[in-house]
Structure 1
Amino acid sequence: MTNERTPPLTGVTVLEIGAFMAAPFAALQLADLGAKVIKVEHSTGGDPVRQTGPFLGTESSPFVRINRNKRSVALDLKSPDARSAFLRLVERADVLVENLRPGAMRRLGLGYQDLREINPRLVYASGSGWGQDGPLANLPGLDIMAQARSGLMSITGHPGGPPAKVGVPICDLVCGLYLALAVTAALRERDRSGTGQHIDVSLFEAGVSFAVWEAGKYFATGEVGGPMGSAHQSNAPYQAVHSSDGYVTIGATTPRNWQAFCGALGLTRLLADPRYADAFSRLENRAELIKSIETVTSTMSTAEIIERLNKAGVPCAPIADYGEVFTDEHLAARGFFWDAPHPTLGSVRQLGSPMRMSETPVQRAGAGPVLGADTREVLLAAGCSAAEIDHLVAAGAALADDVGGATTTSSATTTTTRR
């Protein structure tokens, strides 16, 4: 059944001045929720992700996924004429999301204080490596530096092994999520006060915010955690264990699950062992516990372990690679993956939004746009004349890709499937 209600942020206009990950990922969340996101890119080259492979024809495969449901306006904001055109967009916008180095927007005359004079209702969200102020503010900061300084790399990997980062750019991504969350909160506040505000989210602090177990330990005992492989900081057994054909993850941390786990795998002898009498004891004796568990699990296939534990109601899962994830039948049954239209590539498979809303579904419109695909249409709607736009294009201060075709979301059908 198709739900024809509009997404929750329909009517909200977002300007994105973003590169790589944090701001584009934040704007992606807002676009999925129905906001009209206008991605303002440099007229030469655009977002650097456009040059990141693999490529589908001349288009970046990562770009057309990270930037779905957006429009592309290509302007050189160092050009006075292009900046004037951009300010017309600001007059009509609700939100601006940017992740340039702190001070860069201000040097362009586009800082928060500058733009609030033009549009006091503007919610201005800044993502950066280290924040807009403080001793580190002016340093370049990428995801791996934030993972390093935030402590994440100190607890990732195996004891005695080399430093390892989380496999995805987690600080970039969660910074984007915090930006999107803060934007929605600021819009709610604007409903009450009538004015916008400045939002400052850093990769560094986003990474530190994950340290819920580590903070609980350090501020209580002064103990500093270290890498533990797949094991949990405070519970056991809760980790990956050997099977005969690989590994399987298990989580038997409650009294009920611990008893069911031992019964399902023929380990009932462990129930009478005083070393494993309660959760704290099992944690203190984790090394011996895991050895005992693996004497059994290493003789069984992953599929057999999963079948037994699922039947007993014990949390468990195989370790899937992304080839398996992207063809997972559970995700397929829930309609998680979907195909977005693109003017030159046809259909482009997309990761779905995890946000499932029964009454106001997320938007599923176009794949990431061709550079400058919407420059002309968006600037005309903002009040620029055709002659002004032609002048910008002729001067190299704007790019209008009329050949590639606009990839606007205005005419796209937004649907969701009830299951």
Structure 2
Amino acid sequence: MYQKRKYKHFILLCLVLDLLTMVFLGYRYLDRKIPDEIHIDKNSGLDLSQISNLPFVSFGDTITASGEGSYQLPCRLFGKIAFKNIKVKPTEADTILVSGSTVGIYMETDGVLVIDTGEILSKNGQMQDPAKNILKPGDYIVALNEQKISCKQDLINDLETIDGKPVTVSVRRNNSTIPVSLSPAQDTSGKYKLGIWVRDDTQGIGTLTYVTKDGNFGALGHGISDIDTGNLLSIKGGNLYCAQILGVQKGEKGSPGELSGLIRYRNDNVIGQIRVNSSNGIYGSFTSSSGNNIIELQAAASASDDTVNASESFNQSKTSFWDFADSFSGNDSLPISLRQMKIGYKQEVQTGPASILCDVGNGVKEYDAEITRIDMNHEDTNKSFVIHITDQRLLNTTGGIVQGMSGSPILQNGKVIGAVTHVFVQDAASGYGIFIENMLERV
């Protein structure tokens, strides 16, 4: 009898745990399908069916103000159970210049990044590790004996003057700057070293996503992390360059492909200054190959009879900008594709047909794709939806999505709705995307 009662209690406990698990998973599913915050075009209003078409999800009639220019929209389950309040932000439906051109990226770190520590064969024949358990991978060296350190060469030069004395190294770690003391070791050549591997820059290729009407750009759709530490790089600045695709390594299951290209690191090849490296992409100001900011070029275009009528340019500077941008994209000295498009907010994104803009060696082309899954509230914003390449032309060339295509604009229903961010290792034809509104939050 006791064993039977014990068994019943065990079964009951299992049922309760199963029920709690189902409730938790159901909550997580709904939370990722229903956004916490949305933007809407103030001129067209809000279509509630775009937020959720689930039959048991409803939205309240009472709207509560929640700050300047926004309000709260109650969301309920089965018309009774309060689920969440959605923050609604009315805004002007923006228009941006969408690209898809491959660009070269060069960025300098803000301080000298410590990759790892290591042993040094000292002059007396012993192995020494002066930085072990003192400096950590991901630290940024910003000063040595209160002398500012901007690059690796600064560090090397300052070490040559210390004559073996202990040094105070100022290190930025987890957004705080701390002083640490190190005793350099003299190697077999007589030079003093700290026993650290360091890096002060990074470079590569990616895809330009957009340029705004005030001359700011966004690219990649994800941040650039250090290949060794895995941490998002803290940068002091960098440049965006025109790039030329030289070849494509086709992606296969278990082996992501990549674009290989040529970047000419010359001043006349610079098309932008990188200011920010964030989890949602890299950002900065867009310039011409001559170094002029696009706003200055806009003004020049407005004054030109070849671009826009003088009587129109006085009150329609935005029009003159877009007109000039179209001619800008056809300029051989700046081989960057730009096309004017409206942005689509995340509640407008649907599973089904879409397309991407990218350059795989023959200029920017539009390729067919399909959005297969949407997560409105994914904790990682650059994994907000899944896109699958269906265009046989692109599949034949690249196998789908390859490294270097990050930032490729994604289009649906005549609007730009996001950008490609990652490729699936086990399925080269599929990858993740970020909503365009998340990329634009930095602008």
Scaled to the shorter chain, the TM-score interval is under 0.3
> TM-score with structure 2 length normalisation?
0.21
Q: Which has the higher helix share?
A: 1
Question: Which structure's relative contact order is higher, taking Cα pairs within 8 Å and 6+ residues apart?
Answer: 1
Greater radius of gyration (CA): 2
> TM-score with structure 1 length normalisation?
0.22
Q: Which has the higher strand share?
A: 2
